[in-house]
Amino acid sequence: MADLTGTVYTETVVFSPPEAYVNDVPYQLAIIQFETGKRTTARIAGERASIGDRVVLKEKRGGVQYFEKLP
C-alpha cells in the first residue's frame, strides 16, 4: 500500500452510528486533506487525532479507509 499521508481538516466522534457500525462505537471520523488540496472522509484508527494532526493511511477494510496519527 502506498504511503498516503494527509492532515486532519475536521473530525468528530460517532456515538450513534448506522446499524452496520453499531459494534464499533465510539469511533472517530475525519476529513483528511492532502497536499494536492483534495479531501477524503475516513476513519481514524488507534489514538484520537485532532484538527491539524498529520495522519497516514493504515489500511482499507470493506471500502473504508483507516488512517492513523503520525508520531
Banded model confidence at residue 2, pLDDT cuts 50, 70, 90: low
Cβ atoms of 55 and 41 closer than 8 Å: no
pLDDT at 69 over 80: yes
pLDDT at 1 over 60: no
* Count of other CB atoms within 10 angstroms of residue 57: 19
Predicted pLDDT at 3: 76
* Count of other CB atoms within 10 angstroms of residue 28: 18
Reported pTM: 0.90
* Mean pLDDT, residues 9-27 taken together: 95
- pLDDT, one tens digit per residue, over 24-67 is 999 999 999 999 999 999 999 999 999 999 999 999 998 999 99
Cis peptide before 26 (omega within 30 of 0): yes
Q: How far is the C-alpha of 42 from the C-alpha of 39, rounded, in Å?
A: 10
